[in-house]
Amino acid sequence: MPIAAHRWLMTAPAAPLVRAGFEAEPAAGEVAVAVAGCGVCHTDLGYYYDGVRTNQPLPLALGHEISGRVVAAGAGAADWLGRAVIVPAVLPCGECDLCRRGLATICRAQKMPGNDIQGGFASHIVVPARGLCPVDEKRLTAAGLALAQVSIVADALTTPYQAVRRAGVAPGDLAVVVGVGGVGGYCVQIARAFGAAVVAVDVDARKLEAIARDGGAALALDARAHDAKALKKAVAEFARAQGRRATEWKIFECSGTGAGQNTAFNLLVHGATLSVVGFTMDKVELRLSNLMAFDARALGNWGCPPELYPAALDLVLDGQVSLAPFVETHPLADINRVFHAVHAREITRRAVLVP
């Protein structure tokens, strides 16, 4: 699965419109989107470096954080022509029993670009029109943002947005975010926007400095400088100083590492909610009885329902979530170099590849 092959698929001039490595006219209910930008996600690295399997057999163009403009439409989707959009990272069918019961995130017919269908590291992509998130370009310009930058809303922002909503974060809460990279950094900002005092935990001093300076973390803790007991004590002392409860903490594991998962689990207090947001192939050993003893709960989080995207985007366009300081764009032609740099942690901001 060499990335160079993906790049060839994405840039080959064999047809007037190259759509993620294959030529296809949008079918009924589908649109073709000219990609403005596609973010590089931890999940993409998992597919490429860690042996995580894609649902569609290879070769496959990766990339699921996509923004762009609709340039062609199949029957029933003509209203989208010319519009700037964000393509949800997970596109449920909208018709099955699960979707009808409000469980779209576990729709068995869902389509994820770069996993179930061809992805966004391409010039164009064909996707279902159902669930597309329109982007108000006047508001986008007023916010000082480019369409390529808001591609990361498709996962890095909406995934923690759903997690914060599910966890029931409200004014007066204490939230702890473990891992403040691409997803976790936005989790900090979203939890703050929902009224929580937020503690950021990471092992990267650069990320901690950035999230405290630009992301609104009220306290930044280096996990390397604290054992499990000391870390929990530091959070408890902060909660007390801020007049926040010693119970019912909202804990978000966003690092996607075994170490981060252990750290998050060890922070459980009575009535806590542990939200697992990051993904890893690592296995961890936990005493699940702690959930019983603390009367706590653990929640998984897969994607975000498309109907929540507009509200999540509003947080960015209204200035409640700062996006620009945490995103950097690169030419799509540099995909090999960028993948290597992100994997090696040489790039700490969210990388967005621009065709």
Domain of 122, in residue numbers? 3-153+305-354
- Give the total number of structural domains in the chain: 2
**At 128, is the pLDDT very low, low, confident or very high (cuts 50, 70, 90)?**
very high
164 and 181 together in one domain: yes
94 and 182 together in one domain: no
260 and 227 together in one domain: yes
Collapsing DSSP to helix, strand or coil, 188 comes out as: helix
What average pLDDT is seen over the chain? 91
pLDDT digits (tens, 9 = 90+) for 157-182: 999 999 999 999 999 999 999 999 88
Domain stop point among 258, 277, 300: 300
Domain stop point among 284, 300, 316: 300
14 and 80 together in one domain: yes
Measured CA distances, 154 to 145, 268, 272 (Å):
15, 30, 28
- Beta bridge partners of residue 11, listed in sequence order: none
Bridge-based pairing state of the strands 84-87 and 133-134: antiparallel
Q: What is the DSSP letter of 54?
A: P
Q: In what order do the strands lie in the sheet with 250-253?
A: 219-222, 197-202, 174-178, 250-253, 273-276, 297-300
- Quote the pLDDT of residue 255: 95
Domain stop point among 282, 300, 318: 300
248 and 340 together in one domain: no
pTM recorded for the entire structure: 0.90
257 and 219 together in one domain: yes
- The pLDDT of residue 11 is above 70: no
21 and 91 together in one domain: yes
82 and 186 together in one domain: no
Q: What is the DSSP letter of 120?
A: S
- Quote the pLDDT of residue 23: 53
pLDDT digits (tens, 9 = 90+) for 284-340: 999 999 999 999 999 999 999 999 999 999 999 999 999 998 999 999 999 999 999
Q: Is 200 left (phi over 0), alpha (psi -120 to 50) or beta?
A: beta
The percent of residues above 70 in pLDDT, for the chain, comes to 93
- The pLDDT of residue 57 is above 80: yes
CATH number reported for the structural domain that contains residue 292 in this entry:
3.40.50.720
CB contact at 8 A, 303 and 105: yes
183 and 203 together in one domain: yes
CB count within 10 Å of CB 297 equals 13
CB contact at 8 A, 335 and 6: yes
126 and 94 together in one domain: yes
319 and 242 together in one domain: no
166 and 285 together in one domain: yes
CATH number reported for the structural domain that contains residue 349 in this entry:
3.90.180.10
